[in-house]
Structure 1
Amino acid sequence: MYNCLMYSNELIKGTLKTIILKLLQDSGRMYGYEITQRVKSLTDDKINLTEGALYPTLHKLQAESLITSEQEIFNGRKRKYYSITETGQANATARAEEFISFTKTMFAIIKPQLTK
């Protein structure tokens, strides 16, 4: 489902919605392949999202009204663009803050001598 050289699938699965929402929050609108390539680029190829991971998550986010989609013709082919909603904006910010807090908490557990 996820092609990841450095991180377990569990970690990626647990953060995929946050990743997608944050990318859309920062970029405005993106299409699926663009999302996969941006993640790959930002992580120096450490996280490679597959279609089997990305599209079900995009559909869930859309069902939750956190993103919307629209199709356009680009070079004679249909391309589906995803955009974040106002509710999605707030959700993306909350998820990012929660993840940062969680990461700090985990760091305190794993390397307590460095967090004092």
Structure 2
Amino acid sequence: MNKTALYKGCLEPILLKLLKEQGRMYGYEITQKVKELTAGELKITEGALYPLLHRLEAEGVLNVETEYIGSRVRKYYSLTPAGKKEQARSMTELEAFKNTLQLIFNPKLA
């Protein structure tokens, strides 16, 4: 089974949770933090992360600040007030989904 397909649906809640906990992060930092937290089990590609960041920014979920680091521009992402509400909603949805899967895979614990 391709784990990437399973993780893809969880990328948004993962991203929102990290930003809630960390305050603000830049793209590469997000990919490295996920890799670190999952002991290398989950690797977020730039091709998956940046379209999501841009979509959430367009939806008003994320705030973006740019900073110059030497001659390079770094974009930092943080949650807007609407983003904080979306983060809570996405965690509730993910928890409900996890509980539903529990009914199928481990009914004794549900």
- With normalisation by structure 2, the TM-score equals 0.92
- Higher share of residues assigned strand: 1
SS at match of 1:114: coil
Q: Is 1:15–2:27 an aligned residue pair?
A: no
Structure 2 residue ranges without an equivalent (≥5) = none
The CA distance in 1 between the partners of 2:13 and 2:64, in whole Å, is 18
Pick aligned residue for 2:68 from 66, 73, 89: 73
The CA distance in 1 between the partners of 2:16 and 2:64, in whole Å, is 13
What value does the CA root-mean-square deviation take over the aligned residues?
1.5
Pick aligned residue for 1:88 from 83, 88, 96: 83
- In structure 2, relative to structure 1, the CA distance for the partners of 1:62 and 1:85 (3 Å cut) is same
Which segment drifts farther, 26-35 or 68-77?
68-77
Note the C-alpha offset of 1:24: 0.6
The CA distance in 2 between the partners of 1:73 and 1:43, in whole Å, is 30
Q: Is 1:107–2:89 an aligned residue pair?
A: no
| Partner in structure 2 of residue 3 of structure 1 | none
The CA distance in 2 between the partners of 1:33 and 1:10, in whole Å, is 21
SS at match of 1:79: strand
Letter in 2 for 1:34: E
